[in-house]
Structure 1
Amino acid sequence: MRSECVLTNAAVVLPDGIVHGTVCLADGLVRTVDEGNTALPGSVDLEGDYLIPGLIELHTDNMEGHLRPRPGVQWPSALAALISHDVQVTGAGITTVLDSICCGDLHRERDRSALLATSVEAVRSGREKDVLRADHMLHLRCEVCDPAVVDLFAPYADEPGLHLVSLMDHTPGQRQFTSMDKYRQYYRGKHLSWSDEEFEQNIDELRAQQTRHAEPNRAALLGLCRARNIPAASHDDTTAEQVRQADEEGISISEFPTSVEAAREARERGIGIVMGAPNVVRGGSHSGNVSALDLARLGLLDILSSDYVPASLLHSAFLLHEKLGVPLHEAIGTVTSAPAQFLQLSDRGAVSPGKRADLAQVRLVDGYPVVRTVYRQGTRIL
């Protein structure tokens, strides 16, 4: 039996509003939520800070930066790298994290492809050894134009921690890279030695590869997901037609739509719309695509994801409130209850009786949300 914990004098962010009150935790769950303070011996005074659900992150490649801190450098211990990443996400108020790992690659970056098995094994080991603060799950990002992607994915289809699969197509000239100038700028930073002729040849090869492999691989991957009830996401939808196809295939999440057109179609079809928290914090997309704030103004945003900066997740939710006037409880919902809903994690994502006691204490300092303490299943982990 877990001991009780009473948190009092908190601005408790509930699904439908904010109350000043007290939350009692027991056996890893929220037992009660009451208005007003308590003077019970042993109760923890939160000094008027916000008490919010622990954040739920469905797409972050932050672990990769710890596994490969410099180009060509792989950290000797994958588990140590994961633990370092875990400390960082916990410090950002994240209690459930889907570590997004690339499965397949258009450009045959061997060191990145090699991280697939290493990363999955690290997460598996960290869970089994119970050395992680946050609850780590897997999100496999499948590059559908890679001829080998289905074979790469198949060994992990029954991995217990797999909770999301996204289908990516980074072929130049569409989706994220509709602008060829942006594509050139992005990949020339990685392949400085390419001549103009080599660059054009690479584009032709990638387009031919898409024609041969994208659709059959997409169908095979979705079949594997449907058979296991694993939620699937489309990635970088640009057109209404791409969203319609995703809906017909049973896809429930649209990750980082690049246009208002795609986001509107997703809304009409009940597909969850995910945008990047760094996009909100920076005020725009690093790829030159649609602004997350613009979509939020139009009511076309359901979920925020930290993508490549864990600290951006909480900050972006508060910015929705500050810049757009979104009620704070609704803004917090984009990083808690909404991802829980679309990931089918019905046991968490809200400060409500019976839900997991995954919580974060947050104080505004000069307008910036600072995480002070974090609880996972009623146990303080920060």
Structure 2
Amino acid sequence: MSQRRVSSTADGRLNLEQQRKRAKELLTHLKTENPDATLSQAQWQIAKQLGFSSWPQLKAHVDAIDFAASDEAHTTHWRCGNDIAHTLQLAGFKGHFQMLSDPLCMGPVRDLPRDEFRAMRSAFISQAFGLSEADVARRVADEYNQLETLASAQHSVLWCEADAYDQLFLIRALAGLDQAPRKLELIEVDRIPGVERFIGIGQLAPDVLAWLWPQRRLIDDDAVQLAKQAWSAYGASSPVQWAQLAHATHTALPLLAPALLRQLRELPGSQDGLSLTERLSLAYIAEAGPVAFGRVFAELMGKREPLPFLGDMMFHALLRPLIDGERPLLTETEAHLEWPRRVLALTALGHTVLRGDAYWLDHASHERWVGGVCLRPGQSHWSLDEQLSPVWRP
């Protein structure tokens, strides 16, 4: 069979679209000799003529060259924290870096007007983490103001993983758009080859971030509309619509449903009144005996948490009500030490609740929010049954 001569360039750069067109032209030629010829066969021949063993290898080569030679001065990289800001620079990224650090997986997230929403989040962050109200308000305003430029930005890339912290950041970012911008891209990942327990993008080496770069994809209008729906459901006072989304499959944002389902499990379980984070923590403390606060966090993130989403300070804030309430589930000793070194142990009530013989919200003295769902001690509230469906507890 005759083959067309492969054109070449002097500088070694290849245009992938040009090679795709060449493969389609070659397919037409191949079909004259074999009607069953496929595009994959034509692409393989083009790749082989160019010195590659497969079409995916050709594509990976073009992507790598494009990344190495790209001018990213007008690209803005978005993240829900600053954990990859320095690593991106080490990997060779030259664009701008922005973050939305608001931990939307904690505290009240209600559907409120712009200024009221920011005030609500600022007040929660200040209280939960013992930070200056003025400093938090300035940071929240600055980050959300920057997020509002997403619609008009020349080129933006959102870096996300599969957990609730990241996926809530993702839907918050997209829900503020009327439609998908011309060049808004998403890099999202739930596993990395060779990493036994992938927790987050922040643990990755610079060259692995560069490896992720060619895997980015454009955000389309379907993703924007799904994000709007999910954001509205998350901020509602009833978790019913949220649960429906969490138990479904969404091709536009494939990692969203598992994250919504994990976050749904922060609602009190119908048998013990504990969130999943609280239940996992109490179970480990019961097994290990008196144990350092930081060790509990490490155990959850390293082994027990099915979809790690918490930072250490977030975990500390979530467990404080179990320690500081009028009828606590945990005791904390060695209070003169930094909190990770303080020792935790279950109280008698803690053991009883963990066994399911008492219901935590019947004894709790704190108000807790999960998205737009408010949990007030002594009042009727939403809980989660064994099938992970919301049930109203009168």
TM-score, normalised relative to structure 2: 0.27
State the structure with bigger RCO (CA 8 A, min sep 6), 1 or 2.
1
TM-score, normalised relative to structure 1: 0.28
Greater share of helix:
2
Structure with higher Rg: it is 2
Greater share of strand:
1
